């Protein structure tokens, strides 16, 4: 008798639980799935580094179930930013997929302040560019084999210590960016790597003129001076800046400008007196 009584109680409990699931839990679950939310979705393929424009994205309503909490929902907050990775049609956007600045391979071009310039020189032979071993951040010396047709290989005092800000392959991509892409795509390290075609240096206007002259002559070599801690690298660059200050003193330039202005003023006054 107790056995049947216990079975009856268990049966009643099961019926009550099933009713709760059918009429309480399931409707709540379905309501959560069917709840709509507006998100930003990609409408055309976007390459890493591209700036996002309004025709590349759209706001759409989708089911809110299982969406990441940080999915971007405001279209205006996306437009004008840069893609940090390749994006395909239909992708929704997360903060990690966007950047306020352009891709890393071009970031150095956006940090120029006007005091120095970015100038590229050709790597015409494998040996000219340290056998493809140069990296951004290296400090190099520029060797001119026949500087000013003097028949001697010299390091111009203006180019004793120069910072490398990019090493670019013939594909147009920086070599360090290509290496990262190969690692992320799982390409074999045995495959032939792209060799450097140009090296971009951070230079003053005076240094840029000499580099352009050497580029026109078609003869220059780069020798690695330092690679490592940025503070130590800055010491080399400071020494170069000090040397440039002695070679091109601003004081003498200012004095020359003032004397020329005084001379012009004097000539003008003399002319008026003659009249």
Averaged over 156-165, what is the pLDDT? 95
Q: What is the chain's length? A: 275
pLDDT at 123 over 50: yes
Residue 77's CATH number? 3.90.1210.10
* Confidence band, pLDDT 50/70/90 cuts, at residue 240: very high
Give Cα 2 distance to the centre of its chain. 78
Query: What percentage of the chain carries pLDDT values higher than 70?
Result: 75
Judge whether 216 lies within some domain: yes
Range with the lowest mean pLDDT among 59-63, 120-124, 264-268? 264-268
Rounded-to-integer distance, Cα 164 and Cα 169, Å: 14
More confident residue, 152 or 243: 243
Judge whether 73 lies within some domain: yes
* Confidence band, pLDDT 50/70/90 cuts, at residue 2: low
Q: Count of domains in the chain?
A: 2
Same domain, 64 and 116: no
Same domain, 183 and 240: yes
Residue 55's pLDDT is 93
- Planar angle of CA 107, 111, 112, nearest 5 degrees: 125
CA atoms within 13 A on the CB side of 211: 26
Same domain, 72 and 161: no
Rounded-to-integer distance, Cα 20 and Cα 32, Å: 17
Judge whether 272 lies within some domain: no
Averaged over 57-72, what is the pLDDT? 84
Which domain-ending residue is among 81, 99, 117? 99
Averaged over 243-258, what is the pLDDT? 68
- Planar angle of CA 66, 71, 74, nearest 5 degrees: 135
Same domain, 54 and 156: no
Q: Whose CA is closest to 159, among 225, 100, 102, 62? A: 225
Give just the sign of the alpha carbon dihedral 201, 206, 209, 213. negative
Averaged over 213-227, what is the pLDDT? 91
Provide the token pair at 42.
């990609």
Same domain, 150 and 232: yes
Global pTM reads 0.55
Residue ranges of alpha helices (H) inside the chain are 2-20, 26-34, 175-185, 205-217, 230-247, 250-274
Residue 15's pLDDT is 83
For 77-88, the pLDDT digits (tens) are: 899 888 888 899
Same domain, 117 and 223: yes
Range with the lowest mean pLDDT among 14-18, 27-31, 34-38, 204-208? 27-31
More confident residue, 115 or 22: 115
Judge whether 178 lies within some domain: yes
Same domain, 110 and 196: yes
Same domain, 243 and 119: yes
| Structural domain boundaries enclosing 111 | 106-250
Judge whether 29 lies within some domain: no
Q: Whose CA is closest to 43, among 93, 92, 90, 97? A: 90
pLDDT at 198 over 70: yes
What does the buried/exposed string (b/e) look like for 172-196 if buried means 16 or more CB atoms within 10 Å of the residue's CB? Answer: eebbbbbeeeeeeeeeeeeeeebeb
Same domain, 191 and 146: yes
Same domain, 120 and 242: yes
């Amino acid at each position: 008798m107790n056995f049947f009584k216990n079975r009856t109680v268990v049966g009643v409990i099961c019926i009550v639980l099933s009713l709760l699931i059918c009429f309480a839990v399931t409707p709540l679950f379905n309501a959560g799935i069917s709840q709509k939310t507006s998100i930003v979705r990609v409408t055309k393929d976007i390459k890493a580094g591209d700036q996002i424009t309004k025709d590349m994205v759209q706001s759409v309503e989708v089911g809110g179930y299982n969406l990441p909490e940080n999915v971007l929902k405001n279209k205006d907050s996306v437009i004008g930013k840069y893609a940090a990775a390749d994006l395909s049609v239909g992708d929704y956007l997360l903060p990690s997929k966007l950047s306020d600045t352009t891709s890393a391979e071009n970031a150095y071009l956006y940090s120029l302040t006007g005091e120095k310039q970015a100038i590229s020189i050709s790597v015409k032979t494998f040996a000219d560019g340290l056998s493809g071993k140069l990296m951004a951040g290296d400090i190099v010396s520029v060797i001119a084999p026949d500087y000013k047709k003097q028949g001697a290989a010299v390091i111009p005092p203006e180019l004793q210590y120069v910072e490398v800000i990019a090493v670019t392959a013939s594909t147009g991509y920086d070599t360090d960016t290509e290496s990262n892409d190969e690692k992320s795509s799982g390409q074999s390290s045995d495959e032939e790597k792209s060799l450097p075609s140009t090296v971009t240096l951070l230079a003053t206007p005076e240094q840029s003129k000499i580099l352009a002259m050497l580029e026109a002559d078609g003869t220059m070599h780069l020798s690695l001076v330092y690679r490592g801690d940025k503070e130590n690298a800055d010491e080399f660059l400071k020494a170069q800046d000090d040397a440039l200050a002695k070679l091109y003193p601003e004081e003498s330039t200012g004095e020359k400008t003032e004397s020329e202005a005084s001379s012009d003023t004097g000539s003008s006054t003399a002319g008026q007196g003659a009249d």
